[in-house]
Amino acid sequence: MSTNDTSLTPLGSGSGSDPFFALFPQGRNVTQWQLVDDLSVERGKHTFKMGVNFRRDDVSDFTASEGSFPAIQSSILDFANGSADVIQQNFAIHNSQPLAFYSVGFYFQDEFRVNSN
């Protein structure tokens, strides 16, 4: 709870004047894995090079679960009379929202030499 007509620290938020200063859980967990492979083969006057680069980022974002408890803003007088100016509460289905990002790259190269030197 926070009031808009006093300098009291909002209850339940830790510190600061923002009633949503320290909502928990917050942040994100990120996991990344990557596969990279290159191959080079020489055949006569040709050198063949090929490769692949695959990366996946798994992100679990906790933003949707912030504010899952009611946050109340009111003046002291309204609160004493049993009313509030603003009541806000989020209703996330899950605490984290999983996301996945992919990137992939392939290449093939043929180098040709006219003579051996």
Average pLDDT (53-67) is: 82
Query: Please, are residues 31 and 57 in contact by the beta-carbon 8 Å criterion?
Result: yes
CA dihedral 14, 18, 21, 23 (to 10 degrees): 100
CA distances to 28, 35, 92 from 24, rounded to whole Å, are 11, 35, 13
Tell me the pLDDT tens digit for each residue of 1-55.
Answer: 566 666 665 555 544 444 444 555 567 788 999 999 999 999 988 999 999 999 9
User: Distance (Å, rounded) from C-alpha 19 to C-alpha 73?
Assistant: 8
User: Distance (Å, rounded) from C-alpha 33 to C-alpha 103?
Assistant: 11
pTM over 0.75: no
pLDDT, position 39:
96
